[in-house]
């Protein structure tokens, strides 16, 4: 039998010496990546850092293979290298055995029984936030959702031991750092070394972020207070390689990772759901009807999370149409076979959920927000076509936490207020470290009496 060689991996047009595809990415990274899907086949090469290769994987089966089968043998690649400039070594930036150890350390806070315990706390935080909004107020929804996600995270996983005041202080600096990380992924590395104000802002904001978390850790350490939460867990943990307690740097890296992973994505998805419901009154009516039927007058509890199928479909549809990931990477450590192709060591692999989830081959009429496309569940899709929380050994550690939080928060918000878009408002996505609405301002309205 003769083996047919696979076609060579095409290179996306327009790469320039010293710059690679930086100009196209800088102009409009989401469109650039979306066009790759339309113009090229299962694999296409782009240049982020001249002299290195980044192969964008566009075929669901190859994405599945990369994340699942090849997962244990790959490093994490450019996206996580840049995240590492902020986070240092943490569960999200490292690979191999070190990753397994770090993940094991954090896992206890995300178990089924812990999450069941969190629901009442989450609902309390949401209720307090919504009660602070006033009818007629122009609410910066994305900011409000970031704040809310942060409150839900600090009061559950950190059980209030890291006060949300300390985290709230971090918000502005975190936003600067996350945007810079997003830009650094797209631009060649030499740009980071230029004496530009943006680079100085990045360093200052990163140092401020780590210093704030560092002093919160020291304060808790000195108080000797063990709350049994994530921070106490990390303070008690030992580094399995050295046998010593974790250093402040190590603890800081994990906390920052959770603070970012646990707020950026959830806040954006909640914002997009509220936006889509405001644009689709019939869908909103169905969500409210379901909430009325299942909950009647009582607040949402842990048992309701899986008993609201329509709201869950709305959330799935937001995770499809507005996914927060536009470039998630891996890197080959040795020569690696992916499908019919052999990739040399040191090749970066990337995938983009945002464009994958809009592929008309798998999602007919992809730009329409249609929760009923999920009526048959996900069975009809090939594995790898819808991966909101990733797959394999790096699958989102907070997936169950996030789903619970989304249902609890949305059910609580929607039964207390109505959020309306200004008539002429165009809401556009912006992709930096993650994809989020550029701005989303909505008017707070009281609910008509019978719905409350
Ligand atoms: C809707 C919200 C969320 C989405 C869409 C999301 C998505 C993802 C995805 C796609 C990955 C895999 C990245 C990769 O392939 O390398 C990931 C990893 C991760 N996520 Fe989430 N996430 C969400 C919420 C959360 C929350 C609430 C937390 C924690 C409180 C969290 C913590 C993590 C961590 C720690 C990892 C790294 C896992 C590892 O490498 O072992 N995420 N997330």
Assigned domain for 8 exists: no
Establish if 72 belongs to a structural domain: yes
Residue 164 has pLDDT above 70, yes or no: no
Q: Is the CB of 237 under 6 A from ligand 1?
A: no
The answer to whether position 380 is within a domain reads: yes
* 71 C-beta closer than 6 A to ligand 1: no
**333-362 residue pLDDT tens:** 999 999 999 999 999 999 999 999 999 999
CATH number of the structural domain spanning residue 196: 1.10.630.10
Task: Please state, in angstroms and rounded to a whole number, the distance separating the CA atoms of residues 378 and 355.
Answer: 18
For 308-407, strand residue ranges (E) read 328-332, 336-338, 341-343, 348-351
For residue 75, how many other CB atoms are within 10 A of its CB? 18
397 in contact with ligand 1, CB cutoff 6 A: yes
| pLDDT for the residue 163 | 66
Does 15 fall in a domain? no
pLDDT band of 217, cuts 50, 70, 90: confident
Closest alpha carbon to 417 in 133, 174, 101, 207: 133
Name the average pLDDT for the chain: 93
**Looking at the predicted structure, is the pLDDT value of residue 452 above 70?**
no
- Tell me how crowded residue 172 is: count the other CB atoms within 10 A of its CB: 12
Q: State phi, psi for 351 to the nearest 5 degrees.
A: -135, 155
From the CB of residue 346, how many other CB atoms can be counted at a distance below 10 Å?
13
Work out the number of other CB atoms within 10 angstroms of the CB of residue 219. Answer: 14
Ligand 1 atom closest to Cα of residue 102: 41
Domain that holds residue 134: 22-451
Flag whether 16 is in a domain. no
Residue nearest to atom 42 of ligand 1 (CA): 398
Distance 282 CA to ligand 1 centre (A): 31
- Encoding tokens for residue 10? 């095409």
Structural domain count, the chain: 1
Which of 67-76, 211-220, 292-301, 382-391 bottoms out in mean pLDDT, i.e. has the lowest? 211-220
Element (H, E) at 46: strand 43-46
3-state secondary structure of 74: strand
Nearest to 229 by CA among 198, 204, 200, 254: 254
CB 394 less than 6 A from any atom of ligand 1: yes
Does 11 reside within a domain? no
Residue nearest to atom 36 of ligand 1 (CA): 396
3 found inside a domain: no
pLDDT at 167: 67
DSSP alpha helices (H): ranges in 224-332? 230-236, 248-261, 264-279, 281-295, 309-321
Residue 144's nearest CA partner among 430, 401, 404, 419 is 419
158 vs 398, residue with greater confidence: 398
Pocket test for ligand 1, best of 57, 119, 261 (most atoms within 8 A of CB): 261
Give mean pLDDT, residues 279-290: 97
User: Tens digits of per-residue pLDDT, 88-134?
Assistant: 999 999 999 999 999 999 998 999 999 999 999 999 999 999 999 99
Q: Is position 350 within any domain?
A: yes
Q: How is residue 63 written in tokens?
A: 């994405």
Confidence (pTM): 0.96
């Amino acid at each position: 039998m003769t083996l047919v060689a696979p076609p060579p991996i095409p290179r996306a047009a327009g790469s320039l010496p010293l710059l690679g595809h930086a100009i196209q990415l800088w102009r409009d990274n989401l469109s650039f990546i979306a066009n790759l899907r339309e113009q090229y086949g299962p694999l296409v090469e782009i240049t982020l850092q001249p002299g290195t290769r980044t192969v964008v994987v566009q075929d669901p089966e190859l994405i599945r293979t990369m994340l699942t089968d090849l997962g244990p043998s790959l490093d994490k690649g450019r996206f996580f290298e840049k995240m590492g400039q902020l986070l240092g070594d943490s569960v999200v930036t490292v690979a191999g055995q070190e990753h397994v150890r770090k993940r094991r350390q954090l896992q206890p806070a995300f178990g089924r029984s812990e999450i069941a315990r969190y629901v009442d706390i989450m609902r309390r935080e949401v209720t307090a936030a919504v009660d602070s909004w006033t009818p007629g107020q122009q609410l910066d929804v994305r900011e409000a959702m970031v704040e809310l996600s942060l409150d839900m995270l600090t009061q559950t996983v950190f059980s209030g031991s890291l006060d949300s005041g300390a985290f709230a202080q971090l918000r502005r600096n975190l936003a600067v750092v996350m945007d810079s990380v997003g830009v650094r992924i797209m631009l060649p590395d030499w740009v980071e070394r230029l004496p530009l104000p943006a680079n100085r802002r990045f360093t200052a904001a990163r140092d401020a972020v780590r210093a704030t978390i560092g002093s919160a850790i020291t304060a808790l350490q000195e108080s000797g207070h063990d709350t049994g939460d994530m921070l106490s867990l990390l303070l008690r943990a030992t580094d399995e390689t050295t046998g010593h307690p974790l250093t402040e740097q190590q603890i800081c890296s994990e906390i920052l990772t959770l603070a970012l992973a646990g707020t950026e994505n959830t806040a954006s998805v909640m914002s997009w759901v509220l936006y889509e419901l405001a644009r689709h009154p019939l869908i909103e009516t169905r969500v409210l009807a379901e909430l009325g039927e299942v909950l009647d007058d009582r607040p949402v509890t842990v048992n309701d999370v899986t008993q609201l199928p329509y709201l869950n479909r709305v959330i799935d549809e937001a995770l499809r149409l507005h996914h927060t990931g536009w470039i998630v990477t891996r890197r080959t450590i040795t020569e690696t076979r992916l499908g019919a192709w052999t990739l040399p060591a040191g090749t970066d692999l990337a995938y983009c959920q945002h464009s994958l989830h809009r592929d008309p081959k798998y999602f007919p009429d992809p730009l329409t927000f249609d929760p009923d496309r999920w009526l048959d569940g996900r069975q009809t899709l090939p594995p790898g076509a819808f991966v909101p929380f990733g797959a394999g050994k790096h699958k989102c550690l907070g997936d169950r936490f996030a789903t619970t939080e989304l249902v609890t928060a949305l059910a609580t918000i929607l039964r207390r207020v109505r959020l309306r878009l200004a008539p002429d408002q165009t809401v556009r996505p912006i992709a930096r470290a993650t994809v989020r609405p550029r701005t989303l301002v909505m008017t707070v309205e009281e609910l008509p009496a019978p719905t409350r």
